[in-house]
Amino acid sequence: SHAYDPATIEPRWQAYWAEHETFKAVEDPSREKFYALGMFPYPSGSGLHVGHPESYTAVDLVARYKRMKGFSVLNPMGFDSFGLPAERAAQRDGIHPAVITDERIEYFRTQLRRLGFAYDWSREVVSSHADYYRWTQYIFLKLYEKGLAYLDEVPVWWCEAQGTVLSNEEVVDNRYVETGDPVVRRNMKQWMLRITEYAQELLDDLDQPLPDGQELDWPEGVLEMQRQWIGRSEGAEVTFVIDGTDEDFVVYTTRPDTLFGATYCVLAPEHPLVARITTDAQRAEVEAYVEKAISRSELDRQMGDAKDKTGVDTGARATNPVNGEAVPIWVADYVLSSYGTGAIMAVPAHDERDHAFARKFDLPIVPTYTLPDGHDIQAEAYVASAGETVINSGEFDGMALEDCKAALIDWLEAEGKGERKVNFKLRDWLFSRQRYWGEPFPILHILDDEGNPTGEIVPVPVEDLPVELPHVDEYKPTATGEPPLARATDWLYTTAPDGRPAMRETNTMPQWAGSCWYYLRYTDADNTELPFSQENVRYWGDVDLYIGGVEHAVLHLLYARFWHKVLFDIGLVPTREPFTRLANQGMILANSYRRTTGKYVHPDDVEQRPGQTVTMTSAHTQEEVRTDWFVTGTDTPVEQKSGKMGKSLNNSVDPLEIIERFGADTLRLYEMFMGPLDQTKVWNTSGCEGIHRFLSRTWRLFVDTSDAETAGQLRPMPEETPREARKALHTAIKEATTGIEELKVNTPIAKMMELVNTCSGKPMAKADMEAFALILSPYAPHLAEELWSLMGHDESLANEPWPEWDESALVEDTITIAVQVQGKLRGTVEVPNGADKDTVLAAARAEVAAQLDGKVIRKEIVVPGRLVNFVVG
Ligand code: ANZ
């Protein structure tokens, strides 16, 4: 048979590309570069599902397109392969994480190769391989040298179930976001990265054009999430002197304009002054309160219901610096020790938290700016930052509220009672984990004669990198709570460069480390002397297009930006920002099928039959649902619902399964056809059938599939393309060009479908058939290559120039003109597009001849391209 057969076409072209190194990225100074990147996957146990190739296909479209536009293209792929899940699987199955990880990567590679991506596989990176993490360690040493990595005793999130600490970013609602395991606060010595030093720059560079002309083109939602995370605020630090002492404390406020309304102060339970200033009468109560409060999580404390605000009066008083009034000092857990100065001035009139607290403990509520008519400030706080007039504030009374903030800060500064202050929510990055499967730190702890750490730290010399991860048989923390690496005693004890006995750092780096700089390694993946050469990184520079999931809006993208800025400052990278243009792919959902037991049945194992009402139970609920889905061949009902494709809903679809049924080109095209890239979409395998039909029709447009002798050959192509087909072709070229440039990846497909319809089985002239194959190639590269080769080319089309569209071909042949008599529509005429006025009038007159018969035409009104109106009398 000569029908469209992806099963033979696709492996052939994949082999061809590999053999000819068609997509090898070259540092060609004569061409402009384009760097396209998809976020590298974590090689999970379940392999890629059809959700992953969505962004990879979009990246691939652009990469292939840019290559045809003459750019030198870098389109690489790799694996983000350190992290907890592999360690957990290793523990469960008794296989070393390195072995498990490499097996998984091999499966991912197979899947990716069979999708036909135009990757330069020679640049693959695997973050858990020593030839890669050696350089992660190298960059860590750069951070260390710059004073940006330090050890600190810090309150951390400790996850007992995982036996590790987690970063702030990994904890939501006192649970580890990945597993739902509970976490608690604990003080531990940890490695920290001083990301706060870059807070302002990380914020500014989101919005401003950079000195070298770089400017971020990112989705607004992601920019906003980064801004929120960095959380810059402007305000003042104000000093309060404690009555009867010469001690004082400093509060941070964003509203110094409300200082006259500060009727009490609050110290965080952890504040060092609490113990010292508490009066004897209050001591027992305060101590009990502090002890309890410290064990509560920060989030809990922040979220705490307004009504159950808790706190205790220390008995001490402070002087409000603006009006000299004595205000009580309380201790309460809604003030966090880690933000600002860990102390606040409370303005119950204008802050909701303070208001709730003041109501509960009967503290005075004094407004400092005008209130809306009828507002009862004792009952409810009133929050405004503009539009009101200052009251109860001495010499500041009568000022517009929006001017008062600066005026009060100036006054505080002049009086030496406070100063301007900018604060950030961003905290330093907790950078160590008590895990095995991560990058070892290139750090040594010097030991004394008894073998105890002296506290002195020395870095491992660069020439001794990598510090390889030693083999251990047990990945749990040791009995003393030491990380698993403490078990590798042969590895653990060593000597410092100066010969003193030393012990290696036993923490490992967090999963985020490897992904902070992998895009740089791709520029020079085989370099054994350096993480990347200056020559290559200067050629490839920033990533021109980066596509990935919106779940990385903050963590990965913020961490990578931070590392990049450090590398920029030490002159190792040429740009301030790593990712110039960012796009997010939407989540792919799929139907899932839940049994009454709560277990999910895979979509392949269910069938639809006339319905029945069943009681479905879950952990918390029992509900009646009507369903017409059953486990295939049984009477076991299942409930259909759509949800995120993945393991937990047992609704993953393996790309290989789709490739086997329909081919990779159908899968790629379907992924792009489902809808706009950034939108959530529901996967539907039967949707692939329509796409497969389109590709078959495309095939038949080129290839004779009849039983005739000419079967399998190109169909005869005319000298000239019919006008309608030419218009459809140029429309498709235009749409493909702008669609790919603007990442509107679904619309060009519709235009190509229209083109094939318009041709309705009759080929166009050869040059036009070639142009069609070229614009199809980013989407369906195997088929396009096959057609290209059938048309007599013996090289890949990957480097052919991208077709240009002819605007004049898009113009309509004829246009329809409305014909009115006395302003009433009496008919329409078709005239050639661009016809002159006389031609149009003649046609119009003929059309309404009956109505004009016997009348005198007084006026002929012509609106070009639209209508003719005859005024008769
Ligand atoms: C007085 C005041 C009056 C405040 C008012 C707000 C409104 P953002 O904007 O999020 O940076 N604050 C300061 N340090 C705090 C801490 N460690 N724990 C809890 N709250 C703290 O928040 C700054 C405001 O949050 C500060 O301004 C302070 O309350 C409070 F009408 O001071 B404000």
CB atoms within 10 A of CB 494: 15
Distance 235 CA to ligand 1 centre (A): 9
Number of residues that this document lists for the chain: 873
Reply yes or no on domain 588-660 having CATH 2.40.128.
Answer: no
How many whole angstroms from 869 Cα to the centroid of ligand 1?
70
Judged by DSSP in three states, 538 sits in helix
Atom of ligand 1 nearest to the CA of 381: 31
Q: How far is the CA of 351 from the centre of ligand 1 (A)?
A: 8
Phi and psi of 266, rounded to 5°? -135, 135
CB 63 within 8 Å of CB 75: yes
User: HSE (CB half, 13 Å, CA atoms) of 48?
Assistant: 26
What does the alpha-carbon distance between residue 671 and residue 663 come to, in Å, rounded to a whole number? 13
Structural element, H or E, at residue 35: strand 33-38
Round to whole Å and give the CA distance between 552 and 558.
9
* CA-derived radius of gyration, the chain: 35
| Range 31-230+429-441+507-585: architecture per CATH | 3-Layer(aba) Sandwich (3.40)
| CB of 279 closer than 8 Å to CB of 316 | yes
Q: Which two tokens stand for residue 185?
A: 């606060």
Ligand 1 centre from 254 Cα, in Å?
6
| SS3 assignment, position 622 | strand
Residues near ligand 1 with C-beta < 6 Å?
A: 233, 252-255, 258, 268, 335-336, 339-340, 342, 344-345, 347, 350-351, 423
How would you classify the pairing of strands 600-601 and 681-682? unpaired
* CATH class assigned to 813-872: alpha beta
Report the alpha-carbon distance of residue 69 to residue 775 in Å, rounded. Answer: 12
Helix axes 723-741, 52-68, angle to 10 degrees: 110
Pocket mutation for ligand 1, best pick of 203, 238, 252, 337 (most atoms within 8 Å of C-beta):
252
Query: Measured between alpha carbons, how far is 825 from 819 in angstroms, rounded to an integer?
Result: 6
Q: Burial, 287: exposed, middle or buried (Cβ in 10 Å; 0-12, 13-18, 19+)?
A: middle
By most ligand atoms within 8 Å of CB, the mutation choice from 255, 267, 388 for ligand 1 is 255
Neighbours of 815 (CB within 10 A): 17
How high is the ipTM of this complex?
Answer: 0.91
Q: Which CATH number does the domain 232-424 belong to among 3.40.140.80, 3.90.740.10, 3.40.50.880, 3.40.50.620?
A: 3.90.740.10
Q: Among 594, 383, 515, which residue's Cα sits nearest to residue 38?
A: 515
Q: Report residue 114 CA to chain centroid gap.
A: 26
Which residue reads 């190792």 in tokens? 572
Question: CA–CA separation, 476 vs 492, rounded Å?
Answer: 17
Q: Which two tokens stand for residue 689?
A: 């059938």
Which of 512, 574, 571 is closest to 538 using CA atoms? 574
Token reading at 682 = 């529901």
**Three-state secondary structure of 793-837:** CCCCHHHCCCCCCCHHHHCCCEEEEEEEECCEEEEEEEEECCCCH
CA-proximal residue: ligand 1, atom 26 (nearest):
253
Ligand 1 atom with minimal separation from the 340 CA: 14
Q: Which of 410, 90, 9, 33 is nearest to 236 (CA)?
A: 410
Burial of 621 (0-12, 13-18, 19+ CB in 10 A): exposed
CA 516 to CA 563: how far, in whole Å? 6
839-869 in b/e form (b: 16+ CB < 10 A) is ebbebbbebbeebbeeeeeeeeeeeeeebbb
User: Whose C-alpha lies nearest to ligand 1, atom 28?
Assistant: 253
Domain-wise residue ranges, the chain: 1-29+695-811, 31-230+429-441+507-585, 232-424, 588-660, 813-872
Bridge partners of 703, per DSSP, are 714
Is 292 known as a binding-site position?
no
What pLDDT is stored for residue 616 in this prediction? Answer: 66
Output phi, psi for 696, to 5 deg.
-65, -40
Largest CA distance in the chain: 123
List the residue whose alpha carbon is closest to atom 19 of ligand 1: 335
> Nearest Cα to 290, choosing from 275, 307, 306?
275
CA distance 26 to 292: 62
Distance from residue 251's CA to the centre of ligand 1 (Å): 9
CA of 202 to the centre of ligand 1 (A): 23
Which one of 320, 339, 391, 401 would you pick to mutate in the ligand 1 pocket, going by the greatest count of ligand atoms within 8 A of its CB? Answer: 339
Q: Which atom of ligand 1 is nearest to the CA of 339?
A: 17
Nearest CA to ligand 1 atom 33: 253
Q: Which of 549, 636, 640, 554 is nearest to 597 (CA)?
A: 636
d(CA 27, CA 110): 27
User: Ligand 1, atom 11: nearest CA belongs to which residue?
Assistant: 233
Ligand 1 center to 335 CA (angstroms): 9
Tokens linked to 562 = 């931070």
- What pLDDT does residue 298 have? 64
Per-residue pLDDT, 56: 97
* Phi, psi angle pair for 709, to nearest 5°: -65, -25
Phi, psi (degrees; rounded to nearest 5) at 504: -75, 155
CA-CA distance, 780 to 696, in Å (whole number)?
12
* 459, containing H or E segment: strand 453-459
CA 421–ligand 1 middle distance (angstroms): 13
Residues 572, 138: contact at Cβ < 8 Å?
no
Residue 776 neighbours by CB under 8 Å, 6+ apart:
698, 752, 783, 784, 787
Q: What is the whole-number distance in angstroms between the Cα of residue 353 and the centre of ligand 1?
A: 9
Instruction: Name the residue at shortest CA distance from atom 7 of ligand 1.
Output: 351
Residue ranges for the chain with pLDDT beneath 70:
297-307, 479, 615-622
| String of DSSP letters for 709-739 | TTTTSBPP--SS--HHHHHHHHHHHHHHHHH
Picking from 340, 529, 545, 331, the residue whose alpha carbon sits closest to that of residue 425 is 340
- Look at the domain 1-29+695-811 and name its fold: Isoleucyl-tRNA Synthetase; Domain 1 (1.10.730)
Q: C-alpha distances in angstroms, 124 versus 15, 59, 105, 524, 714?
A: 18, 16, 11, 10, 39
Cα–Cα distance between 778 and 672 in angstroms, integer?
11
Amino acid at 93: D
Choose the residue to mutate in 344, 388, 392 for probing ligand 1, maximizing ligand atoms within 8 Å of C-beta. 344
Is omega for the bond preceding 655 within 30 degrees of 0, making it cis? no
Dihedral over Cα of 154, 159, 160, 163: its sign: negative
Give all strands of the β-sheet with 453-459 in edge-to-edge order. 453-459, 443-447, 501-504, 493-495
Token readout for 168 is 């702030």
DSSP assignment of 830-873 equals EEETT--HHHHHHHHHHHTHHHHTT--EEEEEEETTTEEEEEE-
Quickly list DSSP for 330-353.
EE-TTS-TTSTTSEEEE-TTT-HH
Report which of 51, 59, 62, 64 is spatially closest to residue 667, judged by C-alpha positions: 51
Compute the distance between CA of residue 610 and CA of residue 786 in angstroms, rounded to an integer: 46
